[in-house]
């Protein structure tokens, strides 16, 4: 894993430094606020970074990345000399997949048609399932798998994206699930509640179909 700074620029007020960066590291998950993906979490040289995801990239990265995968992120960082805070914003995200020779091969992440010429269908509904420690201890992983299975059984999986994600807050009410659009939150979700969530998904699909 490596971290490279390529270019430095200074604003006229001398308050902000702008730098282009190129990181390679392990994708840990997303930071979600108000039901929207805001940042991706990247582990680089034993340090966790949070990098802002622009709107144009949110759909593509949310459908393409899974925690644990190696990715490359290019973008721009801004350092505010007054607040001493560094903000990172992605401009390009690349999935690094292992080839037969075990080298890292970049695979650009985008919404362009696949090699077969068929455009990937964009899911109309997204279900975010928290996979942080508190929710995992209370069955978060099993809930994610159960949701995926029931959606497949009902042939809804092509229209719905079940997404593992970072902390959704409300940890005292774990495990937590959020449905988008609508930002509908389910708390203290048990396996018995999963069919109810799927019914909510089906209703959303009727509204947005």
Over residues 69-101, the pLDDT tens digits come to 889 999 888 877 777 778 899 988 888 865 443
Confidence of residue 20 (pLDDT cuts 50, 70, 90): confident
Q: Where in the chain is the domain with CATH 2.40.50.140?
A: 3-108
pLDDT of residue 122: 64
| Torsion angle of C-alpha atoms 67, 46, 178, 187, degrees rounded to 10 | 120
Lowest-confidence range among 5-14, 30-39, 100-109, 190-199?
Answer: 5-14
CA 50 remoteness from chain centre: 11
Confidence of residue 201 (pLDDT cuts 50, 70, 90): confident
What residues contact 117, with CB distance under 8 A and at least 6 apart?
Answer: none
DSSP state letter for 132: S
Lowest-confidence range among 104-108, 131-135, 191-195?
Answer: 104-108
Q: Give the separation between CA 13 and CA 195, rounded to whole angstroms.
A: 56
**Regarding the domain with residue range 3-108, which homologous superfamily does it belong to in the CATH classification?**
Nucleic acid-binding proteins (2.40.50.140)
Q: What is the pLDDT of residues 155-177, one digit of tens each?
A: 888 888 888 888 888 888 899 99
Per-state percent for the chain, helix, strand, coil, to nearest 5: 25, 45, 35
Whole-model pTM: value is 0.46
CB 73 within 8 A of CB 90: yes
Q: What is the CA radius of gyration of the chain?
A: 19
Confidence of residue 43 (pLDDT cuts 50, 70, 90): very high
Query: Distance between terminal CA atoms of the chain?
Result: 43
**Residue 47 or 204, more confident:** 47
CA 170 remoteness from chain centre: 19
Q: Which of 3.40.50.2300, 2.40.50.140, 3.40.30.10, 3.50.50.60 would CATH assign to domain 125-208?
A: 3.40.30.10
Q: Where in the chain is the domain with CATH 3.40.30.10?
A: 125-208
E strand or H helix at 32, and its extent?
strand 16-33
């Amino acid at each position: 894993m490596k971290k490279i700074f390529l270019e430095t620029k200074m604003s006229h007020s001398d308050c902000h430094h702008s730098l282009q960066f190129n990181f390679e590291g392990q994708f840990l998950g997303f930071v979600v606020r108000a039901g929207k993906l805001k940042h991706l979490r990247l582990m680089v040289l034993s340090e966790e970074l949070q990098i802002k995801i622009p709107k144009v990239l949110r759909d593509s990265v949310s459908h393409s990345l899974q925690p644990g995968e190696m990715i490359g992120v290019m973008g721009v960082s801004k350092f505010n000399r007054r607040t001493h805070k560094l903000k990172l914003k992605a401009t390009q995200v690349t999935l690094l997949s292992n080839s037969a020779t075990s080298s890292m091969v970049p695979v650009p992440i985008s919404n362009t048609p696949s090699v077969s010429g068929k455009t990937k269908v964009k899911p109309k509904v997204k279900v975010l399932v928290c996979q942080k420690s508190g929710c995992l201890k209370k069955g978060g992983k099993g809930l994610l798998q159960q949701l995926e299975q029931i959606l497949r059984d009902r042939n809804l999986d092509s229209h719905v994206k079940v997404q593992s994600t970072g902390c959704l807050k409300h940890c005292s009410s774990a495990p937590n699930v959020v449905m988008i659009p609508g930002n509908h939150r389910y708390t203290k979700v048990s396996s018995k509640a999963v069919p109810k969530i799927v019914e909510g998904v089906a209703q959303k699909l009727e509204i947005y179909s």
